[in-house]
Amino acid sequence: MVSRAQQPSSSGDTSPSEPRRIEILDEDPVEPGSEPSPQAVDNLREQVAKLQEELKRLKRE
């Protein structure tokens, strides 16, 4: 089973010397004019500040 996992896959038209092609998909396309609310932005800023404080505290320990 291990030897089979280590063998290069035979995937049709690509040669073993070429890297495997991947397709990159956008997760959520941003629509023009769809900006987040100021309250949501403030909430995220507060979360970032709290996480930064927690990170500093953990580094000290």
Binning the chain into helix, strand and coil, the percentages to the nearest 5 are: 45, 0, 55
C-alpha 26/C-alpha 57 separation (Å) is 36
Question: Helix, strand, or coil here: 28?
Answer: coil
Total structural domains in the chain?
A: 1
- Whether residue 49 is contained in a domain is answered as yes
- Six token digits for residue 47: 């979360």
pLDDT of residue 54: 97
Whether the model pTM is above 0.85: no
pLDDT of residue 57: 95
- Whether residue 23 is contained in a domain is answered as no
- Whether residue 4 is contained in a domain is answered as no
> Exposure pattern of 9-21 as b/e (b: 16+ CB <10 Å)?
eeeeeeeeeeeee
Per residue in 1-55, pLDDT tens? Answer: 455 555 555 555 556 688 888 888 877 766 767 788 889 999 999 999 999 999 9
- Which residue range forms the structural domain that includes residue 41? 37-61
